[in-house]
Structures are given as structure tokens and as C-alpha cells.
Structure 1
Amino acid sequence: MRDSNLPYGKQWLDDADIEAVVNVLKSDYLTTGPAIQKFEEKFSNYVGSKYSVAFSNGTAALHGACFAAGIGEGDEVITTPMTFAASANCVRYVGGTIVFADIDEKTYNIDPIEVEKKITAKTKAIIPVHFTGQPVDLDAIHQLANEFHLVVIEDAAHALGASYKGRKIGALSDMTMFSFHPVKHITTGEGGIISTNNEEYYQKLQQFRSHGITRDKDKMTKTEGAWYYDMQFLGYNYRMTDIQAALGVSQMLKLEGFVERRKEIVKQYNEAFADIDGIITPYQSTECDSSWHLYIIQLRLEKLKVTRKVIFDTLQNKNIGVNVHYIPVHKLSAYKNIGYNKEILPKAEALYEGIITLPLFPAMVEQDIKDVIKAVKEVIQYYSI
């Protein structure tokens, strides 16, 4: 057994990152300054979008995207139940109604066939989530969006560095959100961003993150001088700081290396677990290139003597910091209490009962990987029928 706990995810910071932050601390700008624009431009160049708007966190960014898309009272938005709560909460923040569509059994992503079943006259948008870093079937999603005149807001919190049919995730839909929480591909401490090719969305997002305030003379009916500004709608203080942005710029320089290291670890996991009868390893599409935010094994409970909880607890006791991603959103109290307890999403619910997330992050050393593999093999073998 390991001497210390191995987390399921962790940031990688080096001296260059620290120096970038220190340089901002010594500068004239700590909040909104030149580092923000530099980060946004660097990010757009990477994903191939015309615009990027940085936010204080990914949830705030999704809130902004829903506002920019004009979602409001009476509008329905379809998303997956297999995601973090923010993918659904953002719709409720603007007064919309969330609708859950079941998942594809292979990819664990939202199933476009199930999405189509949920479309009504009230449907305004789709929020597909690239679960674990593997892109959704965007061709099918876009076909539905075009047919029914829907906005597509990709939740790519897991998918920075991923590609769909040879194109980077981030410039393929109306808007795309990325997260920079410490367990993600790069970190700004907390932080998020929306990438888009739509100038109208871009301008709304910029204004939304800063109280709804503008100083743009072309947007105001009057001006009284250089100091003058106008608050044109109820926005929020969702700005990223220059401290965060400087860290983001530095982290972007290492992104490709981070993604490649994740792929190397996944390769070792896949090879080690390929012949274990008690688990199913992640499906890998030949049309997509996952950026592997998470490595999730699915337990074949019919092959095991015990529940998922026993497997989970045993691995935790061996200092392997496993996790579960995610409790289906419609099963959470804040959704059950408003009627979602009647939702029937059998594929998502069945998947949840048997999944475990294994440690996966670039700072893992070879011994860490060996420890995970050894522990999983021992536990599954011990509890196999």
C-alpha cells in the first residue's frame, strides 16, 4: 500500500508559472488589465475562435453564455444528466427550464437520438457536455440545432485540447465553455472562458461579466465626459483577475505537453486493464481525439461479489484517491425537490451505479501509475466471482 494518498487530479505548477504571477503582483494591474486580453487572445489562437471572454470561473462563464443566447422564462434547454451540476444550473440562473436527455452507453455522452425526443416548441438551446474529454457527436447535435433553430453551447470543461474530426474543440458551435479549476488541463486557480465566433455574443459576454456596464459611446444614448458609463442591464461581477490570467498564459505554454502526458497514462491503464473481466475500460472513438480529463472504469457488478462502494472504499484505503463522476444531476435534492425525481433516464442511472474515476494528472510519476494499476488489479481480483 502507498504511504500517502494519491489524489484523482492535481495541478502542475512550475517556476515559470510562479514568476508570471509575481510579475503581475509587481505591476500596476491586479484585477482587469493587459494580462486578461493576452490570455484571451492566446486562448482564441489555440482553439481557433475569433473571440474569447474570460470569467471568474466556469460556472459564471456558462451563466454568461445562457444570458448571451437570450435564454429566459419559458425557454427549455436540453443537457445531459451525467455532468457537474453547473451545466444545468446555468439555465435556471436565467429563468429557463432544464430538460435532461439520456446518454450513449458507449461514450457516456449525451445521445443525439435522445435529444431529439426531448425537443419541443419551447426548446431554445442544447448544452452538450464533452464528458471525460471525449467530444460529443457534434455533427448530429448541429443537425438538430439547424433543423430546430437552436443555440448550441458546448460545455468543454473536460475537453481543452480535444479534437472532433480533426478540429479543435472551441470554435465549432455558437459558444464553448472551458474551465480552469486546478484539476483541469490548465489552471488559473479558479477561472473559465467562453470562446465564440459570434461578435454579438462576444460583446454581450464582455458586458455581462462586468455588471452590465459599458463605456462604449456607440452603445450609449449620451455621454457627459471621459468618466461616463452606463449600466444597460443587470450584469454580474464575473471578471477574471490579471493574476489568474497571467497564470493562464504561462499554463497555455505547457498545455500540449499536459495532454500528451495524460494520453500516455491512459495508454498504460488501457493495456493493464484490457483483460480484467470485472471492469470495462473507456470507449475511444476513432473520429475524435479525447484530451482525457478523467479516466473512468465501469465495474461489471454481475462479475463481482460486492457493490461499487466496497470497491471504492477498498481502493481509498489503499491510498488510491478514486472518485465518482458524477451523481446524475436529476438525482440531486435541488432537482428532485422541483419534480425531477420523476425523470426516467435508465442509461445514465445504470452507468452511475458502477463507475469509478481513477487518478489521472500530468504530475503523476511512473510509480504512481504502477500503484494504481496494482491496486485496481488486486481489488478486482479479490472480489471477483
Structure 2
Amino acid sequence: MSRQVPFAAPLIGAAEIEAVTAVLRSGWIGTGAVTADTEQRFADYLGAPHVLLLNSGTAALHLALLALGIGPGDEVIVPTVTFTATAATVLHAGAVPVLVDVEPDTLRIDVEAVRRALTPRTRAVVAVHFAGRMADVRALRSLCDAHGLRLIEDSAHALPAERDGTVPGGIADAAAFSFFVTKPLTSAEGGLLTMADGDAAARARVLSAHGIDRDAFARHSFGRSPHYDVVAPGLKYNMPDTASALLRCQLDQADAMRARRRDIATAYLAALADLPGLRLPPVDTPTDTSSWYLFVVQLGDGLDRDAVAAELHRHGVGTSVHFRPLHQFSYYRTEVASAAGEFPVADDAFTRVLSLPIFPGMSDEDIEHVATAVRAVLEQAVGR
């Protein structure tokens, strides 16, 4: 193999290295002024009234639930096509995840499936923006308002993205973002929580730092009092300035990196358009634009997804699978009652889905290599 294209790789340049180095030299590397500044920049970028940087997207989901008062006896509706953290945080909050099916073409949460899953115990809906394309948040907002429910967006894949005139977190009670190493923006590990209500956001901030009423930077700054009060049994979810410095540089490039991802997706859509045995992801429209975090294709009948992935690997192309539905995992089958339901769309899609490389550092030659390999492998597989 003369060329190998990994499934994903972060785009880290001199600006990120210099920013992190400056924090290391500053004498304070924990959560402090850099994190506060980065939070304000995200608030401005997203148009969000209240933002909180955290050490993971999982932490953001967990705090969203806790700050909104979700707990024992409550049910929270979650799509079965998502990463385990979406449902696991519901369980950590003491509530019960209720799994529902997804839309066939986009694998986003099915609004009608949500409607059918409502019970008197339902307290919230988690809308997962799959692969970078937003769920129908306006329809879900209307449904939640009609039934007195909270709407939480799992926006781990969607920064930036738009749908129907809104952005992630724009009309939800809370939105959780991830900055894991493969995400559209990265801080290596990290997350962001946006909240519409100031009191809920304040609760989340206190809970993120052990339930202490004053953060460590305030306590340890020269001349400040070291005394504090513990007002809640909190957690350790804060983001340090080292990670925030890296993330601040990434945010500066957010639009440019999304544009590059979109260019890669456009090239794939053109190069693979007439390929038999392949369903491509939906294209952007004026009212529905993706972050293009993932480029998820679905293979046709009779094709072995894992065999295709293995053959692409031999051609020097990395791939992944997003996602095995939650109801198929042993824990959820055993411990979550709704996992015994029927999920025909998710079950069918799981045997077909394959994620191709799409990351801003890809060269045009990388894109051509991936497209050529996919054509060669699938044409051979369908006997052309």
C-alpha cells in the first residue's frame, strides 16, 4: 500500500502548541482565566446565554440531567442509535432510559417514535444529532412543550451545524458537546454544556466542581481566602486551562474546518454517486446543514459490512461503525426494559453502516484514494 488514510486524525498546528505551552509557563494550569475566556467565546459563537466547559461530553450530559432535576422515577427518551454515554448518564442520574428507533435515511431520532414512547413518567427527551446532522429539534421542542418535558440535545457530533434556522442548543433546555480527539473540534478530552436557564446553569457549575461554592482559582489566587462551603454532593468535571487553550485555537478554525469537511463530503458524494450497493448520506440543503463529523454510508443487500471494511483496510483505508444500537448490548438488554422492544430501522441499519474517513487534514489525494478504494471494493463485491 503506497498510501494509508486513517479513519480520523486531529488537526493540530503551531497555534495550538504555542497556546498550550503558554499556559504551562503561566504558573496556573488548572481551571482559570483561559477557561473563562474560552467559555465566553463559545457563548458568543453559539449565541448561548450560559455555557460551561467540562472534561467530557459525558459530563455535560450528566450535568444537564442533574441540573434540570431529572432523577429517580423519571423516564428519559433516548434513540437506540447513539453512543452508550447518552443512555448511561440517564442511569447515573437515577432515571430510566427509554430507547426508541430512528429515521431510515438519516439515523436521527424518530419524532413519531418519541410520541409513541411517552408515558406519565416521561420527563425529558434527548435528541442526538447523528453524524453531524441535527435532529428535528423544532418538532421535538413542540412535542416537549405540549407535554411539559425537558429537551436535551446530544450535540457531540454537531459543531457547527444548523437546521430550520437554529443551531445546536438554540431552542433546547440544554445541549451537550464533545471535544474528544476525533470530534469536529478537539481539546483531546473535553465537553461543553449550554443551558437556557441561568439558575440551572449555576447548579451545573457548582456540581461540576465538587459542589463547592468557590472554584480553585478563586481560592488559590494570591491574597484570596482559602475558605469555602460545600453546598451539594458534586462531581469533578471541570476543564483545565491547558485543554481550554487548545480548544480556543480550534474554535478560531471552526468554520474553516467545517468547510473542509463539507468539501470532502461533496467530493465523496460526486465520486460515489452511481456506485451500486451503496446508500450515501443526505446532502446539505438550505435548511439542514451538517458539521460532516461523519460520512456514514449504508451497504446494499447481500454485502458483508465487516468484510468490506476489512478489504478497505487492505487498500489502506481506515473505517469505523457508528453505531451498534444500544438495545443490542448485553447490559441494556438485561437492565433496561425498553431494550426488549422492536427497533427495525436500527437493526437493519447496523448490518449496513460504515463510516469513511473525513477529517480536515485530508489531502485531495487522500480523498481520491478513499473514493477509488471504495469503488474497487464494492464493484468487486457486487460482481461488476
TM-score by length of 2: 0.94
The 8 Å contact of residues 122 and 149 in structure 2, kept in 1 or not, is answered as yes
Distance in 1 separating the partners of 2:351 and 2:319: 15
- One-letter amino acid of the counterpart of residue 47, structure 2: G
User: 305, 310, 316: which one pairs with 2:307?
Assistant: 310
Question: What SS does the corresponding residue of 2:19 show, helix, strand or coil?
Answer: helix
Q: CA RMSD in A?
A: 1.4
Distance in 2 separating the partners of 1:265 and 1:56: 30
Distance in 2 separating the partners of 1:342 and 1:166: 37
Distance in 1 separating the partners of 2:259 and 2:3: 28
- Report how far residue 339 of structure 1 moved: 4.6
- Report how far residue 168 of structure 1 moved: 2.4
- One-letter amino acid of the counterpart of residue 380, structure 2: Y
Distance in 2 separating the partners of 1:252 and 1:184: 12
- Structure 1 residue 197 corresponds to structure 2 residue 201: no
Within 5 A, what are the aligned runs for 1:259-278? Answer: 259-278=258-277
1:133 alignment partner in structure 2: 132
Which deviations, in whole Å up to 9, do the C-alpha atoms of 1:255-311 show, x marking residues without a partner?
A: 110000000000000001111121000023632111110001100124xxx411211
Distance in 1 separating the partners of 2:196 and 2:369: 44
Within 5 A, what are the aligned runs for 1:16-165? Answer: 16-165=15-164
- Structure 1 residue 359 corresponds to structure 2 residue 357: yes
1:295 alignment partner in structure 2: 295
The 8 Å contact of residues 301 and 308 in structure 1, kept in 2 or not, is answered as no
- Report how far residue 72 of structure 1 moved: 0.7
2:232 alignment partner in structure 1: 233
User: 362, 368, 371: which one pairs with 2:369?
Assistant: 371
2:319 alignment partner in structure 1: 322
- One-letter amino acid of the counterpart of residue 299, structure 2: L
Distance in 1 separating the partners of 2:371 and 2:365: 10
Distance in 2 separating the partners of 1:339 and 1:19: 47
- One-letter amino acid of the counterpart of residue 291, structure 1: S
Distance in 1 separating the partners of 2:185 and 2:276: 34
The 8 Å contact of residues 208 and 237 in structure 2, kept in 1 or not, is answered as yes
CA distance 1:326–1:51, change in 2 (3 Å): same
Distance in 2 separating the partners of 1:145 and 1:339: 23
The 8 Å contact of residues 141 and 171 in structure 2, kept in 1 or not, is answered as no
CA distance 1:211–1:314, change in 2 (3 Å): same
Distance in 2 separating the partners of 1:22 and 1:260: 28
2:219 alignment partner in structure 1: none
- Report how far residue 155 of structure 1 moved: 0.4
Report the more deviating stretch, 346-355 or 280-289.
280-289
Distance in 1 separating the partners of 2:6 and 2:341: 33
Distance in 1 separating the partners of 2:23 and 2:53: 17
1:350 alignment partner in structure 2: 348
1:384 alignment partner in structure 2: 382
1:186 alignment partner in structure 2: 185
The 8 Å contact of residues 71 and 94 in structure 2, kept in 1 or not, is answered as yes
- Report how far residue 227 of structure 1 moved: 3.5
Distance in 1 separating the partners of 2:225 and 2:37: 25
- Report how far residue 138 of structure 1 moved: 1.0
Distance in 1 separating the partners of 2:62 and 2:327: 19
- Report how far residue 136 of structure 1 moved: 0.6
1:334 alignment partner in structure 2: 331
- Percent of counterpart pairs with the same letter? 34
Structure 2 residue ranges without an equivalent (≥5): 216-223
Distance in 2 separating the partners of 1:166 and 1:339: 36
Structure 1 residue ranges without an equivalent (≥5): 217-224
Distance in 1 separating the partners of 2:382 and 2:260: 31
